[in-house]
Amino acid sequence: MEKRTKKLLSVGRKLRARGAEVGRVRIRGEAGEVASQAGTVPGARAAQRGQAG
């Protein structure tokens, strides 16, 4: 389980970094989903923001 969580976190971090460079619209939602799966608060917030539009 630990390895899986670490992988999810690293993937979310990559997506978030790319989102900062690019438009941040589509990628923000992806990063939010991954981060919320790993159980981080900012990720859940990003997911909510993505759903709200």
Tally Cβ neighbours within 10 Å of residue 20.
Answer: 11
End-to-end CA distance of the chain: 32
Q: What is the pLDDT of residues 2-12, one digit of tens each?
A: 666 666 667 66
- Tell me how many domains the chain contains: 1
Q: SS3 for the chain, per residue?
A: CHHHHHHHHHHHHHHHHHHHHCCCCHHHHHHHHHHHHHCCHHHHHHHHHHHHC
Structure confidence at residue 10 (pLDDT): 72
Residue-wise over 31-53: b if at least 16 C-beta within 10 A, else e?
A: bbbbbbbbebeebbebbeebeee
Enclosing domain of residue 31:
2-52
Give the pTM: 0.23
Q: What is the pLDDT of residues 12-21, one digit of tens each?
A: 677 666 655 5
